[in-house]
Amino acid sequence: MKRILVTGGAGFIGSNFVRHLLLNRPDYDVIVLDKLTYAGNLENLKDVQDNPHYQFVHGDICDVNIVQQTAEGVDAIVNFAAETHVDRSLLEPGAFINTDVYGTYVLLEAVKKLGIERFVQISTDEVYGSVEEGSSVETDQLAPRSPYAASKAAADLMVNAYRTSFGLPTVITRASNNFGPYQYPEKVIPLFVTNALDDQPLPLYGDGLNVRDWLYVGDHCEAIDLVLHKGEPGEVYNVGGGNERTNIELTGMILDLLGKPQSLIKHVTDRPGHDRRYSLNCAKLAALGWQPRHRFEEAMAQTVRWYVENEWWWRKLKSGEYADYYNRNYGHRRTL
């Protein structure tokens, strides 16, 4: 494999993965196809823009022509492109169905038509639904509960259908909550870090006892690299960090790392349909040779420091469209 198309490569995980590939696979050519939605940002890739092995194409994965043109001659596609924020999927689900479902179908058609060797679909633990006890295995039934999760689950089913019907060389990864540098400040960690830096309240949904499993983005990139090269066609691989924390624990940790008071926490009206817990069994990926290498406390300290030191990156994102979204999502919430 030499030429990799990374769709959605200007977003949070995609840009970290592009950097990972250029560093660890220096003979590869990496092409990014990205629509540059509110979440896509070329500044995420500023440090690699002059790398001769990197190329950026501005375009939509729902656009058949641009996808076919860009995918011509590539050995693999890794698809990160998606609408990704659960709260936005409650406000405007349409974009999620377009990009996450229809866009994935357009990519699968390109894989079929062009005979591309490998298609990796980046999916999520949210497709399993809320897991009150135990941990999800790859064969569990999908039970998505938000429009975002339902769109991602539909995409997973379409990927598997193309595998079954046409023998396409597909693999799916289902990761838990990622954290690290370049995450758009609507997601809980960068949102709470940047609010706290400005001494603004941290809007914690409900009782704050919902559990997420935190995965450092660098560990996720290593898992995707492994699955891209060694994953069995047709298989699904869970990718979890093994760091299950309640949101209130996570919030307390952020405030401690920043030396800010716990009084910044404001319990507000819960997210409708808020999944209580996600938990992944990752034995299948471990058997392929992957383990997360970063300790949660250290990776969190490093991540919080990154936002402290890179205000140039996030400050300008928190105005304009963001301010309007913030008002729509948080303006009506009551303090509990």
| Nearest residue (beta carbon) to ligand NAD | 11
Please select the residue that binds ligand TDX; options are 247, 253, 285, 304, rule is CB under 6 A. 247
User: Quick count: other Cβ atoms within 10 Å of Cβ 298?
Assistant: 10
Residue 311 · residue 185 · CB < 8 Å: no
Of the candidate spans 71-79, 128-136, 205-213, 317-325, the one that interacts with ligand TDX by CB under 6 A turns out to be 205-213
Q: Is 36 in the site for ligand NAD (CB under 6 A)?
A: yes
Between 7 and 195, name the residue whose CB sits nearer to ligand NAD: 7
Residue-by-residue DSSP string for 162-215? HHHHH---EEEEEE-EEESTT--TTSHHHHHHHHHHTT--EEEETTS--EEEEE
Scanning residues 37 to 56, which ones bind ligand NAD (CB under 6 A)? 37, 39-40
Among ligand TDX, ligand NAD, none, residue 10 binds (CB under 5-8 Å by kind) = ligand NAD
Between the alpha carbon of residue 80 and those of residues 104, 204, 251, 260, the distances in Å are: 10, 28, 27, 34
DSSP H/E element including 17: helix 12-24
The burial of 167, by beta-carbon neighbours within 10 Å (0-12 exposed, 13-18 middle, 19 or more buried), is given as exposed
Please select the residue that binds ligand TDX; options are 170, 177, 194, 243, rule is CB under 6 A. 177
* 3-state SS class at 44: helix
Q: Is 220 in the site for ligand TDX (CB under 6 A)?
A: no
Note if 225 is an active site residue. Answer: no
Q: Is 210 in the site for ligand TDX (CB under 6 A)?
A: yes
Q: Is 124 in the site for ligand TDX (CB under 6 A)?
A: yes
Query: How far is it, in rounded angstroms, from Cα 136 to Cα 74?
Result: 33
Compose the 124-163 pattern: x for residues touching ligand NAD by CB under 6 A, - for all others. x---------------------------x-----------
For 88: left if phi > 0, alpha if psi spans -120 to 50, otherwise beta; the answer is alpha
Residue 6 · residue 80 · CB < 8 Å: yes
Kindly list the catalytic residues.
125-126, 148
Residues at the site binding ligand NAD, with contacts judged by CB under 6 A = 7-8, 10-14, 34-37, 39-40, 60-62, 80-82, 84, 99, 103, 122, 124, 152, 175, 177-178, 184
Binding site for ligand TDX (CB under 6 A): 84-87, 124, 126, 177, 187-188, 191, 203-205, 210, 212, 247, 271
